[in-house]
Structure 1
Amino acid sequence: MTAVLDAPACRPAPVLALAPVVGADVSVPATGHPAGVSYANLDYAASAPALSAVAEQLAGALAEYASVHRGAGHLSQVTTARYERARETIRAFVGGRADDTVVFTRNTTDSINLAATVVPGDVVVLDIEHHANLLPWTRTGRARVVASRPSIDETLAALESELASSPAALLAVTAASNVTGEVLPLARLAGLAHRHGARILVDAAQLVAHRGVSIASFGIDYLVFSGHKVYAPFGAGVLVGRPDWLDAAPPYLAGGGASANVSVDDVAWHTGAARHEAGSPNVLGAVSIAAAADELRAIGFERIGEHDDVLLRRLDAGLAALPHIRPLRAFDDGVDRVAIASFSVDGRTPREVAEHLSDHGIGVRDGKFCAHPLLTKLGHADGAVRASFGVGTSSDDVDRLLAALADLG
C-alpha cells in the first residue's frame, strides 16, 4: 500500500454503503484466506446487484403473479394493475411528459433496436458510443457517425456542424460513458438537436442509477435504460418517449397483444405501448424496475451523488498515487463523472489484472466494454480494466481495490 493510504493521519474517513443489496454478505475464495473473504463488487456498470428492498417487493409480486391484460381472475387483475402501475412509476422516475409512451423491452440494446425501426430519417451519432447505441443505427444505413473531439465543447460543436450540414431526424447520444463515466450535458445536446429540426434519444443506462433525470425539463424526446443497471433483476428495459413515431411505425414484434383485431387477410394493430409489446410481457422485470425507481427516489439523488463523489475522489486519488496505473479519459474537460473508473496497468494485460483482483475477492470488468471504437481511439485496442460502484459500495471496497493494485507495482 502507498504511504498516502497507510498513514493514519492522512487516511480518509470511512464511507458506508447507502443501502443494502442482495449478496452483500457473500464470501468468495481468495488467496491466503481458506475460509474466503467478503466479495467486493466493483462491477456495477455491467450489472448492479439487486437492492434488498426490491427483492422484498418482488417476493410479494411473485406470490400473486398471474397472466396480464386479458385475465378475468382476481390475480390476473392484480398482476395487470401492478404491471401498468410500473409504467407510471417509471414515467415519473425519469420526469416524463404526460403523453409519453412507456414501452417495456428486454434491455437498453433492445430499446434502441426498437427505436431504430421507428425513426423516419437519418441518425447522427458519435463514434465513441457503446455498441448498443451504435450498431442498431449503422446497420440501417442511415447513420451519420461524427468523430468525437478532445473536449466536450468541441464535440458538441462537431455535432452541431453535422446537424446543420443536412437534415437529420435524430441525434442519439449516451448520457454517461460506460468506459470513463464522463457525463455529457443533456440539456445542451437537446437544444442543439432541436435547433436543427432533429429529435434526441438518450441512452441513460449508466446515468439513471446515479443522477436524477427529467425528460421534460431537459428536452429529451426518447430515453432508454436497463433494469439491471438500476438494481432491478429479471432482465427488462424501458423506452420512454413521444408517441407519434411509435404509433406510426410497424409493430416491433408481430403477435398477440400488439394486435387489436385479426383475420386471415388483415390485422389492425394497437397504438401506444401495446403496439410494441407483443407476447406475454416480463411482468416481474417491469415491477422490479419500478420498485428500484421508488427506492432510489427514497434514498435521494442528492445523497447518492454525494456518496458517489466521495468514493470516486477516494478512488481517483488512490489510483493517481500508483505510478503504474494509467486512467482513461475521453475528454480533456470531462470533469463530471458517474461512479466509473477505467485504467490500464503497466506491464499487465487487463485479464491478468482482473484475475489478480479476483484472487483478492474483488470483482471488476476487463476487456473493451462493448465500446471498441472508443477503446481504440484511447490507445487501448486490447482493452482496459474498469471499476464501478453504487449505493451498496463502501470505502472498504475501494481501499481493498487500491491495496490489491499496489501489489502489482
Structure 2
Amino acid sequence: MTAVLSAPLQASGTDAGHIESCVGPGLATSTESAARRRRIAPLARVVGADECVPSAAGPPVRYANLDYAASAPALAEVADVVQGSLAQYASVHRGAGHLSQVTTRRYEAAREVVRRFARARVDDNVVFTRGTTDAINLAAHATRGDVVVLDIEHHANLLPWCAPDQSGSSRVRVVQACDTIEDTLVALEAELASSPAALLAVTAASNVTGEVLPIGRLAAVAHRHGARILVDAAQLVAHRRISMVSHGIDYLVFSGHKLYAPFGAGVLVGRADWLDVATPYLAGGGASAQVAIGTDDESGADVAWHTGPARHEAGSPNVLGAIAIAAACEALADIGFESIGLHEAELTARLDDGLAGLADVTALRVFADSTDRVGIAGFDVDGLAPRAVAEHLSSVAGIGVRDGKFCAHPLLKRLGHPEGAVRASFGLGTCSDDIDRLIDALTGLTRARTA
C-alpha cells in the first residue's frame, strides 16, 4: 500500500501570478531564488491536496496546508479503506450475522496493527479512545500515586493529572524544564529521587516547537526511581518510528487525526495491570461481562466487569476510526520512516533558512541543545499579533497556519509570548512550493510594514 508520488502536486495556473500580485514587494526576487533550489515533491497523496480557497484580490488559489500539527489531512489510502469498509459495516462483538463478524474481525485486527506499529509488548492492552486527550484521561483514571510532568506539556498531558484521583488526593508534581535537555533530565532525576512517584508523563515532541525529547533516556530515569512512563506521542508517531519495547515506554498515547486518519479516534497502548484493576472508564454495555439487579434487600446492580481493552470501551466503539488508524499505521510503514525523515528534514531546513532571513521573525525554541525536530516551527513576527499574521497568510496567500497559545499556555508564557505565536507545521503532503509560498508571504508582509 505505497503512496509515494513521483511528481509534486501542481498549483492552479493562476496561483503563482496571483500570489505575487498580493503579498507585496520583493516577492518576484524571492520566487526566482526559490525556483533555483531543488523542488521537493509531496511524499504521499492526501485528500484535499488540490483544494482551492478564496484569495483577497483575485481568483482562488491552491490551499497551502501548513497546519498538520492540529489535524493532518487524511491519506488517500486511509480514506479508501474507510470508504471500502462502509458497505460491510455493522455492530461488533456480539452479533452472529456475517457482517457483524466481518466488522468485529476488522476492529480487532486494527488493534493488532496498532500493537505492531507501536512495537508494544505482546501482553500490552490496546484501548481505542476518542483521541490523545481521552487516552490520557483514561490513564489518569487508572493511575494511583504521584505523577511528575514538565511545564512544557500540552494541556492534554497536564490538566488530567491536576485533577484529584479517586481517593481525592492531588498527585501532580510539575517540574520546570531547563534551558537544555541535559539539565532538564537532571531536574527530573532529582524530582523523582526526592519522593516516590507512580508515573512520569512526558511529551515526545513539543507541539509548539517540534523539538523531540530523548524518550529512551527519560524512561530510564523514571524506571531507576520505580516510576513508569507515559509518553504523549501525538506529535511524534507520524514522523518517527517508535518502539515501546526498545524505548522502555510503559504507556503510549496518540490520536488518529494527527496520523493522517482524521476519523475521530485515538489509542492508549500499555501495561494491563493498572488498567485491569481500575474501575471501568465508562459504565455500560461491552464493559460488563455479567449484570444482575439487586433483590428487595439490595440496591443497585451486581456487575462483573471485563478485563482487557473491553473494560474501558463501553458502548459502541468508533469502528471506522479504529480501522482508519490501522490503515494509517500500515501506510506509514509502507512509505518508511527513513523516507519520511528525509522529506521532513529537507523541508525543515528550507523553512528554517527562510525564517532566519527575515529580521522581524523570531523562531521559538525550548532547549538550546535540541538537535531533532519534527515538522513544526513556532515563530513570532515582531509588532504583529499572531492572529493578524495568520489572517494575512490566509486571505492574501491561501496559507493555513495555526495561531494562539496551542493549548500550552505555561510554555508560551515562559518563552516570552504570553499572547501566543504563529505555528507552521507540515508532513507527507507538503512540497517545497508550500514552504516557499509561506516565506514569500512573510517577506511581503514584513517589507510592507517598513515601506
Normalising by structure 2, what TM-score? 0.89
Q: Distance in 2 between matches of 1:69 and 1:97?
A: 24
Note the 1:124-163 alignment, pairs <5 A.
124-140=148-164, 141-163=170-192
When Rg is computed on C-alpha atoms for both structures, the one with the higher figure is: 2
Match of 2:436 among 383, 399, 406: 399
- Determine if the alignment matches structure 1 residue 367 to structure 2 residue 412: no
Shift of residue 9, structure 1, vs aligned partner: 8.9
Contact 2:390–2:401, Cα closer than 8 Å, also in 1: yes
Shift of residue 139, structure 1, vs aligned partner: 1.4
Match of 2:88 among 53, 64, 68: 64
Tell me which amino acid in the other structure corresponds to 2:213: L
Q: Distance in 2 between matches of 1:386 and 1:6?
A: 22
**Which residue of 2 is the match for residue 288 of structure 1?**
324
Contact 1:4–1:10, Cα closer than 8 Å, also in 2: no
**Which residue of 2 is the match for residue 85 of structure 1?**
109
Shift of residue 408, structure 1, vs aligned partner: 1.3
Note the 1:6-405 alignment, pairs <5 A.
6=31, 8=33, 11-34=36-59, 36-140=60-164, 141-264=170-293, 265-359=301-395, 360-405=397-442
Contact 1:343–1:385, Cα closer than 8 Å, also in 2: yes
Contact 1:176–1:207, Cα closer than 8 Å, also in 2: yes
In structure 2, do the counterparts of structure 1 residues 9 and 351 end up closer, same or farther at CA, with 3 Å as the change threshold?
closer
Q: Distance in 1 between matches of 2:290 and 2:69?
A: 42
**Helix, strand or coil at the partner of 1:117:** helix
1:197-253 CA-partner distances (Å, limit 9, x unpaired)? 000000000000000000011100000000000000210010000000000110000
Shift of residue 4, structure 1, vs aligned partner: 8.4
Q: Distance in 1 between matches of 2:215 and 2:325?
A: 23
Shift of residue 6, structure 1, vs aligned partner: 4.8
Q: Distance in 1 between matches of 2:263 and 2:196?
A: 39
C-alpha root-mean-square deviation of aligned residues, in Å? 1.2
Contact 1:2–1:321, Cα closer than 8 Å, also in 2: no
Contact 2:67–2:423, Cα closer than 8 Å, also in 1: yes
Tell me which amino acid in the other structure corresponds to 2:414: K
Q: Distance in 1 between matches of 2:36 and 2:422?
A: 25
Tell me which amino acid in the other structure corresponds to 1:17: P
1:10-67 CA-partner distances (Å, limit 9, x unpaired)? 9420000000100001100012322x00000000000000000111111111111001
1:339-396 CA-partner distances (Å, limit 9, x unpaired)? 0001010111000000000011000000000000000000000000000000000000
Structure 1 runs of 4+ with >6 Å offset: none
**Helix, strand or coil at the partner of 1:407:** helix
Shift of residue 7, structure 1, vs aligned partner: 5.5
Shift of residue 3, structure 1, vs aligned partner: 9.4
Tell me which amino acid in the other structure corresponds to 2:185: L
Tell me which amino acid in the other structure corresponds to 1:153: E
**Helix, strand or coil at the partner of 1:408:** helix
Q: Distance in 2 between matches of 1:127 and 1:236?
A: 26
Sequence identity percentage: 70
In structure 2, do the counterparts of structure 1 residues 325 and 74 end up closer, same or farther at CA, with 3 Å as the change threshold?
same
In structure 2, do the counterparts of structure 1 residues 9 and 276 end up closer, same or farther at CA, with 3 Å as the change threshold?
closer
Tell me which amino acid in the other structure corresponds to 1:408: L
Contact 1:102–1:273, Cα closer than 8 Å, also in 2: yes
**Helix, strand or coil at the partner of 2:253:** strand
**Helix, strand or coil at the partner of 1:278:** coil
Contact 1:65–1:76, Cα closer than 8 Å, also in 2: yes
Q: Distance in 2 between matches of 1:294 and 1:5?
A: 39
Contact 2:130–2:266, Cα closer than 8 Å, also in 1: yes
Contact 2:34–2:436, Cα closer than 8 Å, also in 1: no
Q: Distance in 1 between matches of 2:42 and 2:82?
A: 22
Contact 1:5–1:11, Cα closer than 8 Å, also in 2: no
Normalising by structure 1, what TM-score? 0.98
Q: Distance in 2 between matches of 1:375 and 1:62?
A: 43
Contact 1:4–1:11, Cα closer than 8 Å, also in 2: no
Tell me which amino acid in the other structure corresponds to 1:333: D
Tell me which amino acid in the other structure corresponds to 1:350: P
